Structure 1
Amino acid sequence: MAIEANGKTFETDEEGYLTNLADWEPAVAEAMAAEDDLPLTDEHWEIINFLREYYEEYQIAPAVRVLTKAVGKKLGKDKGNSKYLYALFPYGPGKQACRFAGLPKPTGCI
C-alpha cells in the first residue's frame, strides 16, 4: 500500500503505517489526516511533534496510558488526559496519532 503526499509516494503497511520511518514529512501527516477526514490543527501538531520527540528519545511508540501521562507531564494536565486526546484523534490517540507522526503502531494497540 502507499500514500501520496507532496507529489511523492510513501510506502505503508496494510494498516496505513509508514514502512520507512525516515520517509516521514509533515505532508504525510496531512495526507493521512485527509484520508481520515480530520483537518489538523495546532493542537494535533503539538501531539504529533510530541510523539516524534518521544520516539526519538525512547525508540518506542507509547501506548495510550503512557502517552497520556507523558503529555500531562510536558504539556499540562488539561492536555494529558484521554478525553482531550480522543477528541483530537477519534480513532485512538495511540494508533491514529502515531500513524500521522510516521511512527510504528504502539505496542499493546490492537
Structure 2
Amino acid sequence: MSNFASAFTPISISTVKDKISSTDKFILFIGRPSCPYCQLFEPKLSNVACNSNLTIFYINSENSEELEDIQALRKRYGIATVPALFVSENGTAKVVCDSSLSEDDILDFIS
C-alpha cells in the first residue's frame, strides 16, 4: 500500500483553494489507501497521468490534520464518495466519483 498515489503530488487543502481560484487547469485525486474502490481506480489514473504527462495532485481523505477542511471541500463540491476525480479550470469545477471508469473515460473527463 505504500505505493498508493505515488504518481501524484501531495497537496494541502489551503493550496487546493489557491489552485481552484487560479485560471489554470487543476486536477485533484481524493482518495485513501484503505478504500478498495480507490485501490481499483488509482492504477488507472496513474497510467493516464504518466501516459499523458499530467500533473495530478492528491489528498488522502483520511488525513486527520485536515479532516474538517477536507469535509468542507467535499461538501462544497458535492464529493459524496471516494475515489473522487476533481478538475477545475477558469472558475469552473467538475467532479466524478466512479471507480469503474476506464482509462479512456478518465482522460475524456480530464480533457
Alignment TM class, shorter chain as reference: under 0.3
TM-score by length of 1: 0.28
TM-score by length of 2: 0.28
Of Structure 1 and Structure 2, which has the larger fraction of its residues in strand? 2
Looking at both structures, which has the greater relative contact order when contacts are Cα pairs under 8 Å and sequence separation is at least 6?
2
Of Structure 1 and Structure 2, which has the larger fraction of its residues in helix? 1
